[in-house]
Structure 1
Amino acid sequence: MNTFMKTTLAALAVAALGVTAASAETRITYKSAKTGSSYYQMGVELAEAMKTGTDGALIVTIEESQGSVQNVMEVKARGADYVFTTPPALVGLAQQGKAMFDGKGDPKFDEIRALFPIPSLTMHFVMSADSGVTDLMGMEGKQILLGKGSFGATEGEKYIETFGLTDKVKIADAELSNAVAALKNGQIDGFVTAGSWPAPNVIEAAASTPVTVLSLTDEQIAQTGRTKLVIPAGTYAGQDADIQTTSLPVVAYTTTAMDDDTAYALTKTFWESKAKLGDTSPWWNGVDQDLMANIAGKIHPGAQRYYEEAGIALTDAQK
């Protein structure tokens, strides 16, 4: 064999190896929340878990989002590599063309499929111990910081109205980022925040001053129309009993455009990495098989394969 032929064959062999390596790597775009938020950080942690758990076969790129509605809307223009997070209720509204999706419907919304749950948005009503408040109705006459523009602020305002506390609670005019300092300095009696638990700002507040994180009764939770969630005793400093509160479930979704093997690998790697994720960030410990019941809609066939193998029961509506 002459030198030219040997060189040509060697080049072809290298090229073939390159094609094989490239085909073994699947790239995913993961769209969740604003940079700096806990949910963006979760995305970063998930990306690392996917890379490690698949030996680099799944490469996840995190993309900043302006919110869950945007995540759903982008399904119209995205392809098989798109994974996004949103509450299941928004998927239902999109598929029905209701509320914020009125007049903005698209057949692609019907192709949305769930993969796995992630930490829920959890309501926290945090009161200083000095305020003496031990239940929701005790907030009457107190100075409460709700913040502005967030889910927690909107939800907190709704609860104040629902439980007849409108005009009975003094709403502090300040940003939620100032809540811990304001509570410690006695400028406010409490604040309302929503996020995954344990929530960093609640951890900080409990570590710096005695606080009480309020529990809601079963009747109050039913009145809110939200999902009940229990924060275990000992989650926050000074918390010696479970906290009953409300939550908004959040789920990682894709569409039927994603192939079954990729959806299977994403779902399997998530659950098999969850314990290690929890060692790094405790909010992952709030995710367990019980949250599967919060997925109101169909689960991707590839993810279904994993759940069947793992012995995790799905409802008929999820299949």
Structure 2
Amino acid sequence: MINAKFVSAALALGLIAGAASAETRVTYKSAKTGSSYYQMGVELAEAMKAGTDGEISVTVEESQGSVQNVMEVRARGGDYVFTTPPALVGLAQGGKAMFEGKGDPKFDEIRALFPIPSLTMHFVMSADSGATSLADLEGKTILLGKGSFGATEGEKYLGLFGLTDSVEIADAELSNAVAALKNGQIDGFVTAGSFPAPNVVEVAASMPVTVISMSDAEVEETGRTKLVIPAGTYAGQGSDIVTTSLPVAAFTTTAMDDDTAYALTKTYWEQKAKMADASPWWAGVTPELMANITGAYHPGALRYYNEAGMTVTASE
């Protein structure tokens, strides 16, 4: 006959053991598989596991883009973390642009956690082209690629600075840019991603190139955020490069509990230096990037920022 006290004790021990081994599961939705931002998600998941001794488990999900990430807020719960430019959150909450007619009360529950590497514009020109400024693109053959933020933004800049009719656009995919520049088929290419951008690192290591620096007036005309790529980021880069960027951040909603949001934020900043040792793009994230997040922060994230003495742009 089984002793009732033994059964009760065993059950109690089982419950204790279960509680001790419990982990918080989080879904992190970022970008397409194979992109730098998907790779960042993988690195962040590993950092969260290491920094919390396995107490937080992050599953990285592929995404078709930032708009989809925001839209999924409507059907997700408190375990959902996603990346998007802060500007898109504002558009969703206002029911504007691509969110017109698609508004949802859950958009108002979106809250920021922390900034991640920005989408950074690079105009990469062969040294032989002689181009050192945007004006020098006149008469040159440029590869923009298709369908990406960099392609759309690059085309926009050509129009802004009166270069649309004087620049020949190569009909090729961005994946062919490095080979085409090496072979002299193009004079330069435009790419956007976190810096240092892998394709720029590759081409700069194999041939002399110039990543064009913009004037403050040019940056202001684009309406984008100014970003400085430090000297020495790329081979042969002797001075800082002034360019434009689209800030990106990690968000969740008020459905996430405060302790989880706190742990995610705290671990992110504490692990960032180790992540940067493995992947230099994390070195581009500094507390100053928090100024680009204009919406509200999650209360759990705010708890960490207050403890750390870091300035935030919202009090909610």
> Scaled by the length of structure 1, what TM-score is found?
0.97
Secondary structure of residue in 2 paired with 1:249: strand
The aligned length equals 316
* Match of residue 302 from structure 1: 300
Secondary structure of residue in 1 paired with 2:210: strand
* Cα distance between partner residues in 1 of 2:106 and 2:203: 43
Equivalent in 211, 233, 236 of residue 235 of structure 1:
233
* Match of residue 206 from structure 1: 204
The letter for the 2-side match of 1:130 is: D
Q: Which runs of 5+ in 1 are unaligned?
A: none
* Match of residue 7 from structure 2: 8
* Match of residue 143 from structure 1: 141
* Cα distance between partner residues in 2 of 1:204 and 1:318: 42
* Cα distance between partner residues in 2 of 1:8 and 1:283: 54
The letter for the 1-side match of 2:285 is: V
Equivalent in 150, 153, 156 of residue 151 of structure 2:
153
* Match of residue 164 from structure 2: 166
Secondary structure of residue in 1 paired with 2:132: coil
Regions of 4+ moved over 6 Å: none
* Match of residue 276 from structure 2: 278
Secondary structure of residue in 2 paired with 1:187: coil
* Match of residue 194 from structure 2: 196
Secondary structure of residue in 2 paired with 1:290: helix
Matched, 1:311 2:309: yes
Q: Which runs of 5+ in 2 are unaligned?
A: none
Alpha carbons 1:297, 1:318 under 8 Å: kept: no
Q: How far 1:17 sits from its partner (Å)? A: 2.9
Secondary structure of residue in 2 paired with 1:179: helix
The letter for the 2-side match of 1:293 is: A
* Cα distance between partner residues in 2 of 1:89 and 1:195: 17
* Cα distance between partner residues in 2 of 1:253 and 1:318: 16
The letter for the 1-side match of 2:11 is: L
Secondary structure of residue in 1 paired with 2:263: helix
Percentage identity across paired residues of the two chains: 77
* Match of residue 21 from structure 1: 20
Q: 1:72-129, CA deviations, whole angstroms, 9 ceiling, x for partnerless residues? A: 0000000000000000000000000000000000000000000000000000000000
Equivalent in 285, 288, 295 of residue 287 of structure 1:
285
Q: How far 1:57 sits from its partner (Å)? A: 0.7
The letter for the 2-side match of 1:85 is: T
Equivalent in 238, 252, 260 of residue 258 of structure 2:
260
Alpha carbons 1:47, 1:59 under 8 Å: kept: yes
The letter for the 1-side match of 2:14 is: A
* Cα distance between partner residues in 1 of 2:53 and 2:18: 18
Secondary structure of residue in 2 paired with 1:181: helix
* Cα distance between partner residues in 1 of 2:164 and 2:315: 40
> Scaled by the length of structure 2, what TM-score is found?
0.98
The letter for the 1-side match of 2:140 is: K
Q: How far 1:4 sits from its partner (Å)? A: 4.0
1:89-100 matches, within 5 Å, as 89-100=87-98
Q: How far 1:18 sits from its partner (Å)? A: 4.1
* Cα distance between partner residues in 2 of 1:6 and 1:293: 59
* Cα distance between partner residues in 2 of 1:14 and 1:139: 71
Alpha carbons 1:49, 1:277 under 8 Å: kept: yes
* Match of residue 130 from structure 1: 128
Equivalent in 80, 86, 94 of residue 82 of structure 1:
80
Alpha carbons 1:152, 1:192 under 8 Å: kept: yes
Secondary structure of residue in 1 paired with 2:116: strand
Q: How far 1:7 sits from its partner (Å)? A: 5.2
Alpha carbons 1:295, 1:318 under 8 Å: kept: no
* Match of residue 119 from structure 2: 121
* Cα distance between partner residues in 2 of 1:68 and 1:268: 24
* Cα distance between partner residues in 2 of 1:106 and 1:6: 53
C-alpha RMSD over aligned residues: 1.1
Alpha carbons 1:296, 1:318 under 8 Å: kept: no
